[in-house]
């Protein structure tokens, strides 16, 4: 499990995220119309009880329930659409800190390189060199996937790297080792679109290498001695924060 520093920092980020969501939701939503839609939904639900012996009234209540439910969802759409984009970006970056852990000294993992479709691995001789990392195996080629992999081992808890040589080109990839709060970037990529997902290292220049990946171990947050996935804790704390502070922000949803 990760350290207490990970737990407390993630908790603080989760609380801040919950408060930010409340503020955005309050500014971008029509609170009066949302409250009206909720009252109408409750009223038509009560109608099912009051007019249980009146089929015509029940059908009318069902129709109105569907209409007001659609209006309620429409009112929620704009603030939700604005919130979801930065939230997805935030979650991708948080996963690099709380979803994976750096390698410990003496721990092994796999480094994989993805080449472009024009590369024939059977005709190439890719090699991998390590700094503070020992390369333990020869390259294992998967020609059908245009991938080649090596098993490597961290020799110490200092910043490390690997250097891939293929087709006369040399490309490097950082390898995180040690403990503490670290941004653990699994891939160095060539695509600018993928770089938005893995922004810790510069994009690979134009070459046959599409990405280089280090398979880091998955990690859990320590919650009272129990291992919990970071996303579960993040969602729970953010939601609880929103529920506790919604009245102070004057927000209903």
Quick: pLDDT tens for 89-113. Answer: 999 999 999 999 999 999 999 999 9
C-alpha to C-alpha distance for 46 and 112, rounded to whole angstroms = 60
Q: 207 falls in which pLDDT band (50, 70, 90)?
A: confident
Q: 187 falls in which pLDDT band (50, 70, 90)?
A: very high
Strand 226-228 relative to strand 221-223, pairing = antiparallel
Reply yes or no on whether the pLDDT at 54 is more than 90: no
Rounded mean pLDDT, 216-240: 95
Q: How many residues does the chain have?
A: 253
CATH 2.60.40 positions along the chain are: 108-214
> CA 168: distance to chain centroid?
35
- What is the percentage of the chain residues whose pLDDT exceeds 90? 68
Q: Which residues touch 176 (CB under 8 Å, ≥6 apart)?
A: 102, 103, 159, 160, 182, 183, 184, 185, 214, 216
Strand 221-223 relative to strand 160-166, pairing = unpaired
pLDDT in tens, 121-157: 888 889 999 999 999 999 999 988 999 999 999 999 8
pLDDT score at 146? 92
pLDDT score at 124? 87
The strands making up 169-175's β-sheet, listed across from edge to edge, are: 127-131, 160-166, 169-175
Q: Tell me which of 31-35, 42-46, 162-166, 232-236 is least confident.
A: 42-46
| Extended strands (E) in the chain | 108-115, 127-131, 133-135, 140-142, 147-154, 160-166, 169-175, 187-189, 209-214, 221-223, 226-228
- What is the percentage of the chain residues whose pLDDT exceeds 70? 100
Contact 221, 13 (CB under 8 A): no
pLDDT score at 159? 84
The per-residue pLDDT of the chain, averaged, comes to 91
pLDDT score at 152? 97
pLDDT score at 253? 85
Reply yes or no on whether the pLDDT at 209 is more than 80: yes
pLDDT score at 33? 92
Reply yes or no on whether the pLDDT at 53 is more than 80: no
C-alpha to C-alpha distance for 173 and 107, rounded to whole angstroms = 18
Q: 45 falls in which pLDDT band (50, 70, 90)?
A: confident
Q: 59 falls in which pLDDT band (50, 70, 90)?
A: confident
CATH of 108-214, one of 2.60.40, 3.30.70, 2.40.160, 1.10.287: 2.60.40
pLDDT score at 86? 92
pTM: 0.84
Give phi and psi for 54, each to the nearest 5.
Answer: -120, 90
């Amino acid at each position: 499990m990760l350290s207490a520093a990970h737990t407390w920092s993630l908790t603080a980020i989760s609380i801040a995220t919950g408060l930010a969501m409340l503020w955005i939701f309050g500014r971008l939503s029509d609170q009066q119309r949302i409250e009206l839609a909720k009252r109408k939904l409750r009223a038509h639900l009560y109608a099912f009880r009051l007019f249980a012996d009146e089929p015509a009234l029940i059908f009318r209540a069902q129709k109105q329930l569907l209409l007001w439910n659609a209006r309620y969802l429409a009112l929620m759409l704009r603030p939700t659409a604005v919130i979801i984009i930065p939230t997805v970006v935030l979650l991708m970056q948080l996963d690099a800190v709380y979803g994976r852990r750096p390698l410990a000294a003496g721990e092994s993992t796999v480094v994989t390189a993805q080449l472009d479709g024009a590369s024939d691995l059977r005709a190439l001789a890719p090699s991998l060199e390590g700094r503070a990392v020992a390369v333990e195996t020869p390259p294992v080629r998967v020609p059908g996937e245009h991938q080649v992999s090596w098993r490597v081992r961290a020799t110490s808890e200092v910043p490390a790297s690997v250097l891939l040589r293929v087709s006369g080109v040399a490309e490097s990839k950082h390898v995180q080792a040690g403990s503490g709060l670290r941004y653990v970037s699994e891939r160095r990529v060539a695509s600018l679109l993928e770089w938005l997902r893995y922004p810790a290292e510069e994009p690979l220049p134009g070459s046959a290498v599409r990405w280089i990946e280090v398979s880091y171990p998955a990690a859990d947050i320590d919650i009272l001695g129990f291992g919990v996935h970071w996303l579960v804790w993040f969602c729970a704390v953010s939601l609880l924060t929103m529920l506790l502070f919604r009245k102070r922000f004057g927000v209903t949803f």
